Structure 1
Amino acid sequence: MGAPPDRRAVLKGLAAAAATLAAGGVTAGALAGGAGAAPAAVDPITAQTLEAFADTIIPGERRHAGDRAVAGAVSGPGAVQAGALDVLASPELPLRPLLPAIAALLTTRATAYAATHLILLPPLQPPFVGLSFAHRTKLVGKLYGPEDVDRAIWQVLALVVCLAFDTAANDDTAEAVRAGHPGLTWLGFPAAGADGAWRFGAYSYGRALAPLHPSTTASGSPA
């Protein structure tokens, strides 16, 4: 199974990724370096493991009959269909070099879980992929327990996975809506106007909550 992952390096990289996201790094097309940019390649074992993790966070239907990473626990699109792996491997986030180590850590946890629960894992699949959806869910629940030393890793990983589904973070938002991005379509995200901007003609509460200050600029900023 190779050398154990360097947890300090993984946590350092994840902290940098979280800082990038918190600083507003997720803008239209930012994570993909612009619409249409291709993410770096990820080896098959790492890809399957991370896709199985993403499918556990936001499950979806199988992409094809032989799909193993996606458990097919629900109908409709999930994080994998929404491009979670593309976002995780984006060159704009410092996660790409860490993905094999993160997958290896998840492999270690899945192997230990299977041994503890007397589960016979399929020999030709990554251990986490070999778990049923129910067991994947139970294991991920334990990873987020307050006693887990690597909880910060899983928290940031889940954050990026959710961004892929909720915001189409690997593409321009207006283009993603027009193209029928699985996550945005499932959420009913509205299309932009002809100029690519979103405007809402009705107040969310059905009325204005306060009068407009007379010194407010044309852009909506306070004077």
Structure 2
Amino acid sequence: MELLQWDATGISEDLDELARLLNEHARVAAGDQEAAPGGALPPFVALSPDRRAALVRRLTAPGHPEREFWVLLALFCNMAFDSAAHLHTADALAAGHPGLAAMGMTLPDDDGLWRYERYSYGRPLARLHPGTTPSGSPA
């Protein structure tokens, strides 16, 4: 929610309206089976995981008239989990950010730099330039 409420996203002022619209779509999708009015849970949350996923697929499908809003919201939600874009990575890791933990991100070394014993491609991408300083900056 922090990332969604961040004014840099450009959607922070519209979150209440997006939540209202999403719950309205959920009520329609649920019919009489789930998300009855006056329930303890918001209609979207009351849907089963499969029905929530189906609704999101429908809202983000090409041709849906509100697609651009739902795709944007989905992208920011994904970004919040995958990268904690609104936080400094080291701070997010220290706080136990679930998405970064799920990806296996580790805390930086004591000097604040990340070093990995294994390269992501299984080999160095290039030889270290001889003028590179210990901090990693070019000479």
Identity %: 40
1:202-213 superposed matches below 5 A: 202-211=118-127
Residue matched to 1:165: 81
Q: Could you say if the C-alpha distance between residues 147 and 210 of structure 1 is closer, same or farther in structure 2, counting changes exceeding 3 Å? A: same
Cα distance between partner residues in 2 of 1:97 and 1:197:
36
Q: Does 1:183 align with 2:89?
A: no
Give the C-alpha shift of residue 89 in structure 1. Answer: 0.9
Q: Could you say if the C-alpha distance between residues 210 and 148 of structure 1 is closer, same or farther in structure 2, counting changes exceeding 3 Å? A: same
Cα distance between partner residues in 1 of 2:69 and 2:5:
15
Q: Does 1:111 align with 2:27?
A: yes
Deviates more, 1:91-100 or 1:139-148: 91-100
Q: Which has the larger radius of gyration?
A: 2
Gaps of 5+ in 2: none
Q: Which has the higher contact order (CA 8 A, sep 6+)?
A: 1
Q: Under a length normalisation based on structure 2, what TM-score does the superposition of the two structures give?
A: 0.78
Number of corresponding residues: 134
Give the C-alpha shift of residue 97 in structure 1. Answer: 1.0
Cα distance between partner residues in 2 of 1:206 and 1:166:
23
Cα distance between partner residues in 1 of 2:87 and 2:53:
29
Residue matched to 2:3: 87
Contact 2:26 2:35 in 1 (8 A): no
Q: What amino acid is the match of 1:155? A: V
Q: Under a length normalisation based on structure 1, what TM-score does the superposition of the two structures give?
A: 0.52
Runs of 4+ in 1 over 6 A off after TM superposition: none
Which of 110, 113, 122 is equivalent to 1:197?
A: 113
Q: Deviations over 1:76-95 (max 9, x none)?
A: xxxxxxxxx12111243322
1:29-178 superposed matches below 5 A: 85-115=1-31, 118-122=32-36, 123-124=38-39, 125-178=41-94
RMSD between aligned residues: 2.5
